[in-house]
C-alpha cells in the first residue's frame, strides 16, 4: 500500500515541498538545516546548555517529570511546523511525528495514555483541526498506545505566547486548563505538543492533569524554541 501511494502521490518534503527520494520525511537539503537539541540540557524541562537542574526547575519544580523536544526550532523544521499550524496542512503531522518517534521512544514506552495540549474550542473551529492531537495520534499508532483527545481541555482562550517572557507566559496560561479524572486517574500521561519554549503551557496542562489524579506526567514536543 505504501508503494502504491508513493507511485501516484510521491512524498514531498514538509520543509520545501520538493519530491523526496528515499524514506524521508525531509529532502537532503532540508535535512541539513535540522539541528538536534544539545545533549547537555536540564534533565527536567530540557532547557539547552544546562549541566544539572536549571535555575527555574530548582526554584519552582514543574508538575511534569520531564519534557523532551529532540530538535531546535529553526530551518526546515520550523517551516514545516508553520505549514502544519497555519497553512492548512494537517497531513504534515504524520511525517513530523515519524521524525521524532525514535528520539522519544522511552517516553512512548513509559506512557499509559497520550494526550494533546489542547486548543481552545474557538481556535479549533477557526483552524479546523488540533495539530497537537494529530501529532499525538501519529506517535500513538506507532507505539500502540491510546490517545485521550479530551483528557485536557483549554477552558480559557489565551492570547498567543509569542513575544512574552517566562513570567508573562506563565501568567497568561495559569488556570487555563482542566482535566478529566475519568480519563487520567492513576495513569501515566504523556502530553504532546508541537513546540516547547519555556514550558509554561505544558506546566499549566500538567498541573491540571495532576489535580485530576494522573499518577505522573511527561511532555514531548517536536522542537524547542529559544
How far is 193 from 204, CA to CA, in rounded Å? 13
Q: What does pLDDT average to over the chain?
A: 87
Set of cell numbers at residue 118: 489542547
Lowest-confidence pick of 29-33, 77-81, 165-169: 165-169
Is residue 65 scored above 70 in pLDDT?
Answer: yes
Is residue 112 scored above 50 in pLDDT?
Answer: yes
CB 41 within 8 Å of CB 80: no
pLDDT number for residue 159: 60
Set of cell numbers at residue 10: 510521491
pLDDT per residue over 173-217, tens digit each?
787 899 999 999 999 999 999 999 888 899 999 999 999 999 999
pLDDT number for residue 13: 83
pLDDT per residue over 141-159, tens digit each?
999 999 999 899 988 777 6
Is residue 21 scored above 70 in pLDDT?
Answer: no
In the block, residue with C-alpha cell 539541528: 35
How far is 104 from 145, CA to CA, in rounded Å? 14
pLDDT number for residue 39: 85
pLDDT number for residue 6: 42
Residues paired with residue 97 on neighbouring β-strands, in sequence order: none
pTM of the complete model beyond 0.75: yes
pLDDT per residue over 97-109, tens digit each?
998 999 999 999 9
Most confident of 124-128, 165-169, 194-198, 206-210: 206-210
How far is 193 from 16, CA to CA, in rounded Å? 22
Is residue 49 scored above 90 in pLDDT?
Answer: no
Domains of the chain in start order, with CATH, are 34-224 (3.40.50.2020)
How far is 67 from 47, CA to CA, in rounded Å? 9
Amino acid at each position: 500500500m505504501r508503494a502504491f501511494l508513493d507511485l501516484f502521490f510521491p512524498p514531498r518534503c514538509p520543509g520545501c515541498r520538493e519530491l523526496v527520494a528515499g524514506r524521508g520525511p525531509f529532502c537532503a537539503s532540508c535535512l541539513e538545516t535540522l539541528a538536534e537539541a544539545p545533549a547537555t540540557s536540564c534533565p527536567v524541562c530540557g532547557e539547552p546548555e544546562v549541566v544539572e537542574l536549571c535555575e527555574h526547575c530548582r526554584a519552582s519544580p514543574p508538575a511534569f517529570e520531564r519534557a523532551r523536544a529532540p530538535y531546535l526550532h529553526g530551518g526546515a523544521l520550523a517551516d514545516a511546523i508553520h505549514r502544519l499550524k497555519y497553512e492548512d496542512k494537517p497531513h504534515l503531522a504524520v511525517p513530523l511525528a515519524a521524525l521524532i518517534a525514535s528520539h522519544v521512544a522511552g517516553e512512548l514506552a513509559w506512557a499509559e495514555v497520550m494526550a494533546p495540549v489542547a486548543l481552545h474550542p474557538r481556535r479549533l473551529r477557526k483552524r479546523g483541526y488540533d495539530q497537537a492531537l494529530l501529532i499525538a495520534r501519529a506517535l500513538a499508532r506507532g507505539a500502540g498506545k491510546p490517545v485521550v483527545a479530551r483528557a485536557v481541555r483549554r477552558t480559557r482562550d489565551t492570547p498567543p505566547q509569542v513575544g512574552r517572557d517566562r513570567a508573562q507566559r506563565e501568567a497568561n496560561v495559569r488556570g487555563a486548563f482542566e482535566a478529566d479524572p475519568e480519563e487520567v486517574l492513576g495513569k501515566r500521561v504523556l502530553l504532546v505538543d508541537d513546540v516547547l519554549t519555556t514550558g509554561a503551557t505544558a506546566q499549566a496542562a500538567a498541573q491540571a492533569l495532576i489535580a485530576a489524579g494522573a499518577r505522573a506526567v511527561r511532555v514531548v514536543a517536536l522542537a524547542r524554541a529559544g
